Amino acid sequence: MSKLHLGVLGSGSGSNMQSIVDAIEAGTLDADVRLVLADVADAKILDRAKRHNIPCRYLDCAPWKTKLEGPAEDRCIELLREAGVDTVVLAGFMRIVKPGLLAAFPMRVLNIHPALLPAFPGVHSWTQALDYGCKVAGVTVHFVDAGTDTGPIIVQKAVPVLEDDTPETLHARIQEQEHIAFPEALRLLAAGRCRVEGRRVRIAR
Ligand code: GRF
């Protein structure tokens, strides 16, 4: 068992970060959030962090629009290290992270993706699942590797696709499961129960 010191990177509403903070405050996750960084200056995730007195700041990632690279990546790593972060949580961070961050926190960067990977990587995956005619959709929490949404899977949760679903209703159902899945994956990590063997994450009993 080892308490996790989390750094959260986000771009939007921060509901996943909220679920992690709620789990910590409820005493069901042995962790603290040391720092929240957002690449969008007015992202709601920063307001949520402030409400919980969690250090947070805007990280200017220019000139890149879709990745975290160069001086912004260096700065990000520096800030996370200064804050004593040992585990990086991508909670709706709409950028591709590069090898520099992954090397700084080896097998300690986790992402949440709103699909049952390897189906529907990339953006708007719930719409992709709906358009494809899937009867089941879901969410995946995984370690991040050099690919996009390709790293070893820690937790998955399935949700049904209902006859009258719209992208919005399906996404909302998936998000309910996200808020269970992310704290669950972090709990496994904190308990030292995840062992990565190639593509597989073995979960110790
Ligand atoms: C979630 O749907 C997550 O799966 C995806 O981005 C969204 C972030 O939502 N990666 P929030 O900012 O945590 O509310």
Domain ranges of the chain: 1-106, 111-205
* pLDDT averaged per 10 residues in sequence order, the chain, 205 residues: 94 98 98 98 98 98 94 97 98 96 97 98 95 98 95 98 98 98 98 96 96
Give yes or no: 113 in active site: yes
Q: Which fold has domain 1-106?
A: Rossmann fold (3.40.50)
pLDDT of residue 186: 98
pLDDT of residue 22: 98
Nearest to 113 by CA among 143, 139, 75, 147: 139
Beta strands in 98-150 (DSSP E): 109-113, 136-143
Q: Which atom of ligand 1 is nearest to the CA of 111?
A: 10
**Residue to mutate, 15, 40, 109, ligand 1, most ligand atoms under 8 Å from C-beta:** 15
Nearest to 115 by CA among 105, 125, 124: 125
pLDDT of residue 1: 73
| Cα–Cα distance, 144 to 189 (Å, whole number) | 14
Q: Which atom of ligand 1 is nearest to the CA of 178?
A: 4
Beta strands in the chain (DSSP E): 4-10, 31-38, 56-58, 67-68, 87-90, 96-97, 109-113, 136-143, 153-160, 194-197, 200-203
From the CB of 15, is ligand 1 less than 6 Å away? Answer: yes
From the CB of 92, is ligand 1 less than 6 Å away? Answer: yes
> Whole-prediction pTM value?
0.97
Q: Which CATH superfamily is domain 111-205 in?
A: Formyl transferase, N-terminal domain (3.40.50.170)
